[in-house]
Structure 1
Amino acid sequence: MSRFLAAFLCLSVFLAGSPTMAQTPALAKVQSLSATRSAAYDGQIEAVTQTRMAAQVPGLIKQVLVKAGDQVSKGQLLLEIDDSQARQQQAAMQAQAAATRAQLQALTSELQRQQQLFERNYISKGALERIEAEQRATRAQLNAQQAQASAAAVQTGFFRITAPYDGILIDVPVEQGDMAMPGMPLLSLFDPAALRVGVSVPVAALAGGLPDTSQILVSHGQQQLAVSAVEQLPTADAGSQTRRLRLNLESGANAVPGQSVKVRLQRSAAGEQQRLFIPAAAVVRRAELTAVYVQSATTGKALLRQVRLGANEGELVEVLSGLAEGEQVHLDPHAANRE
């Protein structure tokens, strides 16, 4: 509204013919101005990166090393699940693989001897094929056991929960001694370096296209949050006929996820019909009557005239009917009533 205020600072204030200041009514012309449309919506701070970490393996929670609100570093150990049973299973699988490997080595040596005997015609081809088949089966068994042992080794890493990135813990709903099951939430965290605002905006308000960052004001209390990028989700809500905008905030924003903010979208009214405005101080409200004192061009007296008003724009109010551009209204209705 700074443009409106600047325009009205240039309004002509007409002085009555008398040189006495006390007798000079303060008047303002009805002005036709280009409006800057703006609308405010309720938004909410969101984390661009927020993670809920769940258990992938069953087991007793051995230790919880963090609590809600803690700041953690990437790779830091957060929680540990008892892995003694899993390690025993891994050791058993490795032992089975080792036994099968030794059996395969013995079969390979035996196959070499059988091939030498077959070359000297001491054994039949059928006997040689049987030992070859036994060796191939043992090799396949060893491959399967090694794959199982490798999977068990990978699974042992699921018992140690570490931070995937630098962040802040939101919640740790488990305690030491709890029984963890696959899919059970263990903790959640977010990255405070990347925040955004989620806001639902009516489809009609976006008819002119996606606003750029210069047209968006985000207020968090007395603080203004700078917007670095605007993203629009591809679908609209069928019930409310709104579309979801994501406003990425510049780094260093003093806010946390879940806080409410006010999002104001400003649109230039270029190309739209000019609207009439008067200072809100000139309006008289008496019961159901809304009027202003208009300076008569013929008699020079203040005449009360009913008007229909639109929305307030700061210290100005839009006039929908009852006044014409260039007419003069009294800024002090009480003084005008005494004339």
Structure 2
Amino acid sequence: MPDTPPSPTELPRTDPRRLRRAGLVIGAALLVVLGAGTATRLAARQDLAAATRDNATPSVNVVRPAGGEAGALVLPGRLQAWAQAPVYARTDGYLRRWYADIGTPVKAGQVLAEIDAPEVDQQLAAANAALATAQAQRDLSAVTAARWERLVELNAVSRQAADERRGDLAAREAMRNEAQANVQRLRALTGFRRIVAPFDGVVTSRDVDVGALIAAGDGRATPLFTVADTRKLRLYVSVPQSLAAGIRPGLTARFTTPDQPDQVFEAQLVRSADAVDAQSGAMLVQLVFDNSAGRLKPGAYAQVTLDLQGPGAGAAPLRVPSSALLFRKEGTAVAVVGPGDRVQVRPVRIARDFGASLELAGGIGAADWVVNNPPDSIADGDLVRPVRPQNAAKAGAPARS
């Protein structure tokens, strides 16, 4: 017998418990979706706030101060002969002969040249004749004065007349002395016809030749000869005022010259000016080098290294780029990144200016991070994001302190 369809009153009914479970599942799913969206928005908001803070914090490049050799000061110097004398003519004439050329070693009193001075010879002959005349006149006046003294004793002449004869004798003696002095002067001039070396040394210049007209005291720009004693050399160095306190007695300096760059020479400090030159702001010091072997030449340029270690030398200056310097109304300063990436503006004093870099005498330490190219508006306490050199990062330095 075929099945008959159920009546509407006989349809299956839905279980309420199943409906509740489905509703709970759907509600939980909606809560999960809503929570995930809220969390995503909160995370995005936090990321945006962090990015805003990072963008508001300026990035600055930082460098470590560089330090050279502790206590070493490298300065330019100039070598000069221990003694140097320009030799001029003291009498007029023509050069007859010269005996020493440049580079010739000479002894004190050695003849360098001879001057032919016929006019001086004639003047000397005339002076001798004038002296003879004055001597004869003086002798005659002396005899006359003696005779008048005897006549006065005999009351043959007046005392006035005898006094006049004594006065004439005094005048004749003065004229004789004047003529004699003129003879001695001309004899000295004839001695100056021989130009001699003032001391042992080497002829470093000769600015005269045979037949040249010689005029004494004509204000020549260059002397006839120049003689220099090069057995010892003076080395002059100008030390900056900020480092002058490190100069002490007994200091030994090392120096090199361009013509012998591989040779290092030593010189001893002998004296200093003990005064700062107002124009250069430096103190002049003098060192002595024993040049008995003739290795160096006077007038040469030298690069001098002074060891300033010891009492009064102070700490070795540190070097920073010139672009790290700040100019404030209080003076020069640098910006240093301290703890918490906060800026510290420190006043500094420039010891030496090398152009691209500066040596600072105090104000910073070797372990400080100095801001390079700091903005003019940087101030104490500013928060910054330091960017360190790659070599520092490779060595293990963190990206931020």
With structure 1 as the length reference, what TM-score do the two structures score?
0.66
Q: Distance in 1 between matches of 2:94 and 2:316?
A: 71
Counterpart check, 1:71 vs 2:105: yes
Deviation string 1:85-118 (CA, Å, 9 cap, x unpaired) is: 1122112112211121122212222222222222
CA distance in 2, matches of 1:275, 1:122: 101
Alignment partner of 1:200 is 2:238: yes
The counterpart of 1:51, out of the listed 82, 85, 89, is: 85
- SS of the aligned residue for 1:132 comes to helix
Q: Secondary structure at the match of 2:103?
A: coil
| Letter matched to residue 53 of structure 1 | V
Find the partner of 1:83 among 113, 117, 120: 117
Q: Quick one: which amino acid aligns to residue 259 of structure 1?
A: A
Partner of 1:171: 205
Partner of 1:223: 263
Q: Does 1:243 align with 2:317?
A: no
Aligned counterparts of 1:121 and 1:274: Cα–Cα separation in 2: 101
* Alpha-carbon spacing, 1:99–1:275, altered in 2? closer, same or farther (3 Å): closer
Count of aligned positions? 255
Q: Which residue of 1 aligns with 2:307?
A: 266
Name the CA distance, whole Å, in 1 between partners of 2:228 and 2:315: 48
Q: Post-superposition shift, 1:194? A: 2.0
Distance change (3 Å), C-alpha of 1:131 and 1:275: closer
Q: 2:73 aligns with which of 21, 39, 57?
A: 39
Unaligned runs of 5+ in 1: 1-32, 277-309, 312-317, 323-329, 335-339
Amino acid in structure 1 at the alignment position of 2:232? A
**CA RMSD between the two structures:** 3.2
Confirm or deny: 8 A CA contact 1:49 1:191 kept in the other structure. Answer: yes
Larger-gyration structure (1/2): 2
CA contact (8 A) 1:44 1:258 kept: yes
Equivalents in 1 of 2:316, 2:192: separation in Å? 66
1:159 deviates by: 2.1
CA distance in 1, matches of 2:87, 2:116: 17
CA contact (8 A) 2:251 2:268 kept: no
Q: Letter of the aligned partner of 2:303 in structure 1?
A: K
Shift of 1:268: 2.3
Give, in whole Å, the separation in 2 of the partners of 1:236 and 1:203: 7
Per-residue Cα deviation, 1:285-305 (whole angstroms, up to 9, x for no partner) = xxxxxxxxxxxxxxxxxxxxx
Matched residues in 2 for 1:123 and 1:272: separation?
A: 95
Say which structure, 1 or 2, has more relative contact order (CA 8 Å, 6+ apart).
Answer: 1
- TM-score, length basis structure 2: 0.57
Q: Distance in 1 between matches of 2:95 and 2:282?
A: 44
Instruction: Look up the SS of the partner of 2:231 in the other structure.
Output: coil
Kindly indicate which of the two structures has a greater share of residues assigned to strand.
1
Residues 269 and 288, structure 2, Cα contact 8 Å, conserved in 1: yes
Structure 2 unpaired stretches of 5+? 1-66, 319-357, 360-365, 371-390, 396-401
Inter-partner Cα distance in structure 2 for 1:95 and 1:274? 78
Instruction: Determine if the alignment matches structure 1 residue 137 to structure 2 residue 171.
Output: yes
